[in-house]
Amino acid sequence: MVTVSGVEPNSLAEQAGFLPGDILLSVNGNDIADVLDYRYYITEPSLSLLVHRGPELFTFTIEKEEYEDIGLAFETYLMDQKHACRNGCIFCFIDQNPRGMRPTIYFKDDDSRLSFLLGNYVTLTNLKDADIDRIIKMRLSPINISVHTTDPALRCQMMKNKHAGSSLAYLKRLADAGIAINAQIVLCRGVNDGKALDKTLADLAAYGEAMQSVAVVPAGLTKHREGLYPLTPFSASEAADVIAQVEAFGKQMKQSRGTR
């Protein structure tokens, strides 16, 4: 359920009787928790909206064109708060920010809704089966995923999250359902590079056409790393070797898929 913060003048919602402060409970019998639920279920041309106002419940009926907006506004574009990251990644750039900046600089988001809406990358570690079911049901594709490694134990180590390895199983569920995936690998020298990178690339390629792209980027390091995992940057020659490694694999994948 979400609270209505505003009603557009002369809109379908105003005509139906909506008021600011109303709590929207459901649309056509489907519970509304956030913007994805709301946008998905109001696409129908005939709507029955259950609303809580003070001690009373109201049902508003709206007939409209398919995909037509009804004119409700909410406090945030997500309708609730961003989902925070539960990992402690050894390469996290947020942890490397200097002190004394505005609070939003230090917020770590890990929100699958932002992956679909804004292109943010998510780790899957704070998702449950029901969340994956919703992504598949609503066809929220593509989804951008920070994989880093397909070795479960190494992923747990890199992300300092005991669920980091098991959450990799969601990749197959998404791929099997036809959800396009853009994967990201933040490469840490001496950790997930070399043979570990070869394995990760091969495992991701096995998802076939569902694996839309794989980005390999070096971990960004700042001077504000006191007390953090001891990472060192790639040298110029090492970086060149990684580029050659990735390009060779990309060429191999293109050939296997019959593309130029």
**More confident: 249 or 147:** 147
In total, the chain counts a number of residues equal to 260
Q: How confident is residue 117, by pLDDT bands cut at 50, 70 and 90? A: confident
Can you tell me the distance from the alpha carbon of 148 to that of 199, in angstroms, rounded to the nearest whole number? 11
Residue 225 pLDDT > 60: yes
Contacts of 51 (CB under 8 A, 6+ apart): 18, 22, 23, 24, 25, 57, 58, 59, 60
**More confident: 61 or 251:** 61
* Per-residue model confidence (pLDDT) at position 81: 79
What residue segments make up the domains of the chain, in order of their start? Answer: 2-74, 94-256
CATH topology of domain 94-256: TIM Barrel (3.20.20)
* Per-residue model confidence (pLDDT) at position 9: 96
Work out the average pLDDT over 199-223. Answer: 95
- Whether the full predicted model's pTM is greater than 0.85, yes or no, is no
Q: How confident is residue 83, by pLDDT bands cut at 50, 70 and 90? A: confident
User: Measuring CA to CA, which residue among 84, 89, 87 is closest to residue 110?
Assistant: 84
Locus of tokens 């950790």: 191
* Per-residue model confidence (pLDDT) at position 165: 97
92, amino acid identity: C
* Per-residue model confidence (pLDDT) at position 118: 87
| Percentage of the chain modeled with pLDDT above 70 | 99
* Per-residue model confidence (pLDDT) at position 116: 85
Q: How confident is residue 259, by pLDDT bands cut at 50, 70 and 90? A: low
Q: How confident is residue 121, by pLDDT bands cut at 50, 70 and 90? A: very high
Residue 233 pLDDT > 90: yes
Q: What is the dihedral of CA 142, 145, 150, 156, to 10 degrees?
A: -150
Q: How confident is residue 210, by pLDDT bands cut at 50, 70 and 90? A: very high
Residue 153 pLDDT > 80: yes
User: Measuring CA to CA, which residue among 183, 165, 186 is closest to residue 174?
Assistant: 183
* Per-residue model confidence (pLDDT) at position 113: 86
Can you tell me the distance from the alpha carbon of 151 to that of 156, in angstroms, rounded to the nearest whole number? 9
CATH topology of domain 2-74: Pdz3 Domain (2.30.42)
Residue 154 pLDDT > 70: yes
The helix (run of H) or strand (run of E) holding residue 248 is: helix 236-256
Work out the average pLDDT over 114-119. Answer: 87
> What's the mean per-residue pLDDT of the chain?
93
